[in-house]
Amino acid sequence: MAQHMNLTLKVWRQKNDKTKGQFVTIQAKDIADDMSFLEMLDVVNEDLTRLGEDPIYFDHDCREGICGMCSLVINGRPHGPKYGITTCQLHMRSFHDGQTIVIEPWRAAAFPVLKDLAVDRTSFDRIQQAGGYVNINTGGVPDANTIPIPKRIADEAFEAATCIGCGACVAACKNASAMLFVSAKISQFALLPQGQTERYERAQAMVDQMDAEGFGNCTNTGACEAECPKGIKLSNIARMNREYFTAKFFREEDVHTHN
Amino acid sequence: MSNSKPVLSSSLGRKLIMSLTGIFLCTFLIVHLIGNLQLFKNDEGYAFNNYAYFMTHFTPIKVVSYLLYASIVIHAVYALVLSIRNKAARPVNYAQFDGKANSTWNSRNMGILGTVLLVFIATHMQNFWWKYHNDQVPYIEYQTDLATGNTTSRVLEASEFNDYQVTVDNDVETVKARDLYKQVDFAFQNPLVVGFYVLAMAALAFHLIHGFKSAFQTIGVSHKKYVPIIEFIGVWGFGVIIPIGFALMPLYFYFIK
Ligand code: SF4
Ligand code: FES
């Protein structure tokens, strides 16, 4: 049998990015401990709707930890008190009856609040558009293993590619730096033969876009790596730096502007 | 088509400046510590004062010392610029932020630690560098019998001192020098100075435990074999041995001399 609990939520409510937000205290009653955190918010929202109040806005989509839409800083931690999971994978059994839970949006200049807990992460999209792609002719399905890639390298590229673009790294970073995200997106191509064509352009273009979006500067605290639901490693940032400095100091490739 | 932004106005370029100046300052610490170990010699400062003269008058070292001053300034200025930008990257702070769950205290407070160190460097240079360069330290004369190796010393009045001088006469070597050693001894009789120096060395330890390995991460070093070595040197060399070595100097003069 599921245990039930009553919780006090301190939720950030904000109309839009033009207005100032504030914390509002809301009671969450009779929450089953096998609910996910988002289901708990669903229950709260149903109550609010029934009372004729505006439900709490929060981002979500897949609810199985693969899309990167859910966010929330819960009691001072992106994606809540556990490591290696997203908010949709967080169960209410991680909390106890009578607990007060503070829920805030990702806070970064480059992630403006759309409403309440939902933030605009299109800055990530623009970084991707600046260079996070490869130009290939799709053609037919290629045979497997036509391009030999050492397993170690393939694994490393794959690990980098598991980044779901959630932005928890930015949220966790005291500098609101996006370097873990950007480095994962650069690494997944830099490691593979298919990514070589745009390799050095990519590093420059994506770093430029990252800076233009107003993300902060990494101070290597490692908070991003600790809070990343996909375990993206700091060594990716080292790789990004290598790619970028190599491009800058040893290659002279121009970067296209895509607008 | 347009060129990418110049490297030094990019986030990574600015970080690179922090990294390179930081590593340079770390190498300086090694030299500074080894040189200053001569303070522990029981020779009335003979070795130390000669060394002080050499370090301030040998041209290649002077060149390096100007690079060093520049590095301190650049490191501090870039830290300030980056901190301001980082603050701007998060205009609204978290009401609750559990930093210790994902990072070390010192890695999150490099700016505070660095500020302590900057104040320390200013005090330190005022105490010794400034006084040494502006004739505000006492003078001393050493006479060494080259046959026996015995050294005697006597305080020189300002009127008896022209410049650093080494003369050998009748198998007796006479050295006239600025007595920085005495100034060190004098400064470290003040418990406030001693306390501040020890505190600053604690700040140095925490600054470098994060800073040293961080500098290599920024340059892009990630290697299964070498990164652990870098981390080891960062913690034990720059986080323990060097700060303790420096901290022992004021403690030695206060408690033992
Ligand atoms: S690096 Fe991790 S925390 Fe950052 S966006 Fe990707 S998955 Fe999310
Ligand atoms: S809703 Fe898709 S990862 Fe959480």
What is the count of residue pairs from A and B with beta carbons less than 8 Å apart? 156
The finding on whether A69 has its CB within 6 A of some atom of ligand 1 is no
Q: Which two tokens stand for residue B119?
A: 């104040």
Is this complex's ipTM strictly greater than 0.90?
Answer: yes
B182-238 tens-digit pLDDT:
999 999 999 999 999 999 999 999 999 999 999 999 999 999 999 999 999 999 999
pTM of the predicted protein model: 0.94
Q: What per-residue confidence (pLDDT) applies to A189? A: 97
A163, A187, A234, best to mutate for ligand 1 pocket (most atoms within 8 Å of CB): A163
B124-179 pLDDT tens trace:
999 999 999 998 999 999 999 999 989 999 999 989 998 999 999 989 999 999 99
The tally of CA atoms less than 13 A away on the side-chain side of residue A171 is: 36
What is the predicted pLDDT for the residue at B2?
47
Indicate the domain borders of chain A: 4-115, 122-249
Handedness of CA A211, A216, A222, A225 (dihedral sign): negative
pLDDT band at A138 (very low <50, low <70, confident <90, very high): confident
Q: Hey, are the CB atoms on B86 and A242 less than 8 Å from each other?
A: no
Judged by DSSP in three states, A233 sits in coil
Cα(A68) to ligand 1 centroid in Å equals 8
Q: Which of B99, B221, B222 sits opposite A174 (nearest CB)?
A: B99
Superfamily (CATH) of domain A4-115 = Beta-grasp domain (3.10.20.30)
Q: How far is A128 from chain B (nearest CA, A)?
A: 16
Q: How far is Cα of residue B216 from the mean position of the Cα atoms in its chain?
A: 20
CATH of domain A122-249: 1.10.1060.10
8 Å CB contact between A45 and A55: yes
A172 C-beta closer than 6 A to ligand 1: no
CA torsion sign for B186, B191, B192, B194 is: positive
Give helix B191-219 / helix A235-250 axis angle, nearest 10°: 70
Read off the pLDDT of residues A139-189 as tens digits, 9 standing for 90 and up: 888 888 889 999 999 999 999 999 999 999 999 999 999 999 999 999 999
Across chain A, what does the average pLDDT equal? 95
Closest partner residue to B12 (CB to CB) among A108, A207, A235 is A207
Distance from residue A60's CA to the centre of ligand 2 (Å): 5
Minimal-distance CA residue of chain A relative to B4: A255
DSSP one-letter string for B186-202: HHTTSHHHHHHHHHHHH
- Residue A251's pLDDT is 80
* Mean pLDDT, all residues of chain B: 95
For residue A256, the model assigns a pLDDT of 55
